[in-house]
Structure 1
Amino acid sequence: MTLLATIEASYYSGGKRSFYAKFILAAAIVLIALSAIQFSSLGTKAHPRQLVDFDDFYIVGQMVWHGDVDKAYLVHSIGEIPASPARGKTLLLWTYPPPFDVLVATFPLTSRWIAYCLFIVGSFAAYLAILRRLATESFVLALIVTFPVLVVEIRCGQNGFVTGALIGLTCLYLRRGSALAGVPLGLMAIKPHLAVAFAIYTLATRRWRTAVAACGTVAATAIVATLVLGIEVWAAFFHSIKQAGFFLAHGYYPLYRMVSFYAAARTLGLPASLAMFVQAVVAVAALTMVVAASRRFSLQQSLGLTAIASLLISPYAYDYDLPILGVGLALLLPDILQFGTAFERSLLYLSAFFACGFGLVAAVVLDPQGTKIMLDESMPVSLGGLALLCVFGLAWRILRRGQASTPQAQDATPAEIKTDSVFEVPSG
């Protein structure tokens, strides 16, 4: 049996699907347990534990309670923060919008490892539940080809499961024709650069009620953040955006972990201005394709393409943002399996797996100490974005072939779409 047939057995065979699902869940549980043990200790003074993303979340949460969260946007070294357990010159480049500060403020209400478990287990469970609703039979196949990003998320305690769940829920409600799609889309204010493609899709398809709901949600979260944190936090936040632009231009990030064309261009030796121009071209092309997909393909197909395109817009996109890729593939895999050739499917699966796993492998093999945060000759080349574009291009090509071989699909009206939201709103 070929590798392709083995992978796709998770779609066609209920027994294989169950086996792979149990294996992935068991692997995730083991990884979460090992990570929780890691978070239960900060190491010794002589051998401190290397801090990861969740540690930053926890530190900023403590700063909220200390009443000085605005300093998180201004301080360069974690060691300078009183609430920090860090030693040395590890950088904290905090650029999250204030509504996310309100979320992380809940983490210090318990110990670090318990907060980690609650956050990762809760967000992972929500992501899986929503992905299962979107994917049905292709659920496990989508998990297989994006498996490395599950490891990345659990390992560093990032918020990719949260954004993946929000984008997935947006797709669920859009598939139902419900204006409630604007609520999870508005909650993407915690990472607005990942919501641009869906904002354009909403406007292109003239879903005005969804747009209003999204704007209202953004306004509500901003008001809550202002009431909790104070108005001055916004000035600090906008200052941090300018600061992040400076750091990005000068390569003060682990660019090999990014999945943007900017990162690829910079690590290949292009100057910052030319790399940003390349990124802008890719972003404009991706958004143009989103508008075209909304008119050319079925609702489910256009949503899947929009989810993948959302990862091609910003220069600041990391491998831990790729649970959104799982959402896109979950929507597209039935058509990919039906209309794609064996070579196209193999290349698409390999590209998705590579995009999700390249940064992880590079970090473990080439940068185990996490020290390559400065662009120089030792920085590994960023290849995730190239693989991501390959996934998008192959998916588009396959859908076009399917469109040519079948009668033009018409989107179902909201009344004809089966209700499948995991957050059903009762009537009356």
Structure 2
Amino acid sequence: MKAGHWLTSKRLVFYPAAMLLAQILGVCILLYLHRYAPGDEGMAFSSDFRVFWSASHLALEGRGVDAYDINKLFPVLQGVDPALVQIRAWFYWFYPPTFLLVILPLAILPYLLSYAIFTLGTLFCYAAMLASFAKPHRIGLLILAFPPTVVAAYNGQNSFLTATLAGCGLMLLERRPVVAGVCIGLLALKPHLAILFPIALLFAHAWKAMLAAAVTALCLAVTSLLAFGTDTAFAFMNSIGIARQLATEGALPLEKMPTIFSAARLMGASTSLANGIHFSVALFGMLAVVVVWRKPQPMYLRASVLVLSSLLVSPHMFDYDLTWLALPIAWMGVHGLERGWRRGERELLVAAWISPLACDAVARGLSLQTGPLVILAMLGVLLYRARQATHAQGMAIEVSSTT
């Protein structure tokens, strides 16, 4: 008798529960150690959200452009967290005016209350979006225990929001293209993660969604400029150069950046060589999107390829952005449960689900960034599936034409 697979439904409950408990324990230990041995970086948690709240505070005072000036932003950060001593690279505001418009209401509320509402609200939307297409499979515990979920919540980041918009846009594309386009257009609040979406829509001839996305992004951009002034657009463009300079100088933590650029730099490549390698892989990701989206393919496959390729494009993505990785994991997982598994696919998804937890430690200890390797492995499996599906369709057409 053939033995069943080791990944049973009971283990899919036990392992995530153990993982979540371990992560909560780790967070508690970090908070305890920080309490008795504080550093010069201020409070232990919500380190990214304090930048959002401070930028919102300046914008509400009519000084939105000052968010891009670290010498004017830092005093506000110190008002939020008096323990801050010196300026760090991650205290800068690098987001476009469109995101400044989205987070404008944050500073209306006291800091900790604002952090709790923003984090829990966006986490709820993220979990609801993932659970909606995984029905009837229960994945709530898998979502909460997914390491980037904990990282994003701990830091108060915006990746729950961007992943929700990307997931909703792709899930609704076939049924409600205009709504899908609006969701995709709203990704203009973090445009470096949405670069490949217009390419996908173009090759899929999704004209309604493409128009809705363009109109939404344009309206968001115009509204933000009317609200904060055109100077914010120029300040944002200047901040891109500052971010590039900080990354080149090593001021940004490369071990927390699961990108090809970071992987090459950690292995000793020069900045120019790392950029060249990253560009080559990003080009491969773009071509993967073109190949898959220009021909009829199952939507889960198209969407997964687009999300994975999007994670390969940006050279300055951080570990909390790997909340996006839950999308292809869930899509591939649901497809496998409903249609059957190929050999090794479950093991790959388990590795992808666990991998963000080890990225930082492996990068620090071995100077090896494993995040891009997992993304490339998943993309390779999907491209193989797409090739097989295309071949099967061609055979079916050939058979039908001869009968």
TM-score range, shorter chain: 0.7 to 0.9
> Once the 2 structures are TM-superposed, how far is the Cα of residue 250 of structure 1 from its aligned partner?
2.1
Cα deviations by residue, 1:231-258 (Å, 9 ceiling, x for unpaired)? 2111111110121122222222111111
Please, which of 55, 58, 62 is the counterpart of residue 50 of structure 2? 55
Give matches, 1:139-154, under 5 Å: 140=139, 143=142, 147-154=146-153
Amino acid at match of 2:347: S
- SS of the residue 1:175 aligns to: coil
Structure 1 residues 241 and 94: alpha-carbon distance in aligned structure 2, compared to 1, 3 A threshold: same
Corresponding position of 1:311: 311
Give matches, 1:209-288, under 5 Å: 209-288=208-287
The answer (yes or no) to whether the contact 1:77–1:90 under 8 Å persists in 2 is no
313-322 vs 132-141, which moves further: 132-141
Structure 1 residues 352 and 276: alpha-carbon distance in aligned structure 2, compared to 1, 3 A threshold: farther
**Is the aligned partner of 1:388 residue 2:387?**
no
Structure 1 residues 139 and 50: alpha-carbon distance in aligned structure 2, compared to 1, 3 A threshold: same
The answer (yes or no) to whether the contact 1:78–1:84 under 8 Å persists in 2 is no
> Once the 2 structures are TM-superposed, how far is the Cα of residue 286 of structure 1 from its aligned partner?
0.7
The answer (yes or no) to whether the contact 1:304–1:328 under 8 Å persists in 2 is yes
Question: How far, CA to CA, are the matches of 1:219 and 1:28 in structure 2?
Answer: 44
Question: How far, CA to CA, are the matches of 1:409 and 1:323 in structure 2?
Answer: 38
The answer (yes or no) to whether the contact 1:146–1:326 under 8 Å persists in 2 is no
Corresponding position of 2:401: none
Cα deviations by residue, 1:175-228 (Å, 9 ceiling, x for unpaired)? 315222110101001111111222211011111221111111111111221222
The answer (yes or no) to whether the contact 1:138–1:330 under 8 Å persists in 2 is no
- SS of the residue 2:269 aligns to: coil
Cα deviations by residue, 1:1-42 (Å, 9 ceiling, x for unpaired)? xxx9454527xxxxx77x5799599869979x979x99xx9x
The answer (yes or no) to whether the contact 1:145–1:352 under 8 Å persists in 2 is no
Cα deviations by residue, 1:161-184 (Å, 9 ceiling, x for unpaired)? 101100111012113152221101
211-220 vs 172-181, which moves further: 172-181
Corresponding position of 1:179: 178
Structure 1 residues 226 and 147: alpha-carbon distance in aligned structure 2, compared to 1, 3 A threshold: same
Structure 1 residues 49 and 408: alpha-carbon distance in aligned structure 2, compared to 1, 3 A threshold: farther
> Once the 2 structures are TM-superposed, how far is the Cα of residue 351 of structure 1 from its aligned partner?
3.3
**Is the aligned partner of 1:297 residue 2:297?**
yes
Amino acid at match of 1:71: D
Corresponding position of 2:328: 328
Structure 1 residues 209 and 25: alpha-carbon distance in aligned structure 2, compared to 1, 3 A threshold: farther
How many residues align structurally?
382
Question: How far, CA to CA, are the matches of 1:97 and 1:274 in structure 2?
Answer: 28
152-161 vs 397-406, which moves further: 397-406
Q: TM-score, normalised by structure 2?
A: 0.82
Question: How far, CA to CA, are the matches of 2:144 and 2:194 in structure 1?
Answer: 23
**Is the aligned partner of 1:194 residue 2:189?**
no
- SS of the residue 1:222 aligns to: helix
Corresponding position of 1:13: none
Corresponding position of 2:59: 64
> Once the 2 structures are TM-superposed, how far is the Cα of residue 61 of structure 1 from its aligned partner?
1.5
The answer (yes or no) to whether the contact 1:202–1:210 under 8 Å persists in 2 is yes
Question: How far, CA to CA, are the matches of 1:300 and 1:286 in structure 2?
Answer: 17
Structure 1 residues 45 and 78: alpha-carbon distance in aligned structure 2, compared to 1, 3 A threshold: farther
The answer (yes or no) to whether the contact 1:297–1:409 under 8 Å persists in 2 is no
The answer (yes or no) to whether the contact 2:183–2:213 under 8 Å persists in 1 is yes
Structure 1 residues 405 and 173: alpha-carbon distance in aligned structure 2, compared to 1, 3 A threshold: same
Question: How far, CA to CA, are the matches of 1:141 and 1:121 in structure 2?
Answer: 15
Structure 1 residues 65 and 310: alpha-carbon distance in aligned structure 2, compared to 1, 3 A threshold: same
Cα deviations by residue, 1:308-328 (Å, 9 ceiling, x for unpaired)? 221111101112112221112
The answer (yes or no) to whether the contact 1:131–1:327 under 8 Å persists in 2 is yes
Give matches, 1:84-95, under 5 Å: 84-86=80-82, 87-91=84-88, 92-95=91-94
Give matches, 1:28-177, under 5 Å: 48-50=42-44, 52-75=47-70, 79-81=74-76, 83-86=79-82, 87-91=84-88, 92-137=91-136, 140=139, 143=142, 147-177=146-176
- SS of the residue 1:106 aligns to: helix
Amino acid at match of 1:49: M
Question: How far, CA to CA, are the matches of 2:227 and 2:18 in structure 1?
Answer: 39
Structure 1 residues 109 and 30: alpha-carbon distance in aligned structure 2, compared to 1, 3 A threshold: farther
Question: How far, CA to CA, are the matches of 2:286 and 2:39 in structure 1?
Answer: 49
- SS of the residue 2:125 aligns to: helix
Question: How far, CA to CA, are the matches of 1:258 and 1:100 in structure 2?
Answer: 21
Q: TM-score, normalised by structure 1?
A: 0.78
> Once the 2 structures are TM-superposed, how far is the Cα of residue 122 of structure 1 from its aligned partner?
0.9
Corresponding position of 2:346: 345
Amino acid at match of 1:85: D
The answer (yes or no) to whether the contact 1:146–1:323 under 8 Å persists in 2 is no
326-335 vs 277-286, which moves further: 326-335
RMSD value over aligned CA atoms? Answer: 3.7
The answer (yes or no) to whether the contact 2:55–2:73 under 8 Å persists in 1 is no
The answer (yes or no) to whether the contact 1:256–1:382 under 8 Å persists in 2 is yes
> Once the 2 structures are TM-superposed, how far is the Cα of residue 140 of structure 1 from its aligned partner?
1.6
| Greater relative contact order (Cα < 8 A, sep 6+) | 1
Query: Structure 1 regions of 5+ residues with no counterpart?
Result: 11-15, 367-377, 411-428
Question: How far, CA to CA, are the matches of 2:396 and 2:23 in structure 1?
Answer: 41
Structure 1 residues 117 and 404: alpha-carbon distance in aligned structure 2, compared to 1, 3 A threshold: same
Structure 1 residues 111 and 250: alpha-carbon distance in aligned structure 2, compared to 1, 3 A threshold: same
Query: Structure 2 regions of 5+ residues with no counterpart?
Result: 398-403
- SS of the residue 1:282 aligns to: helix
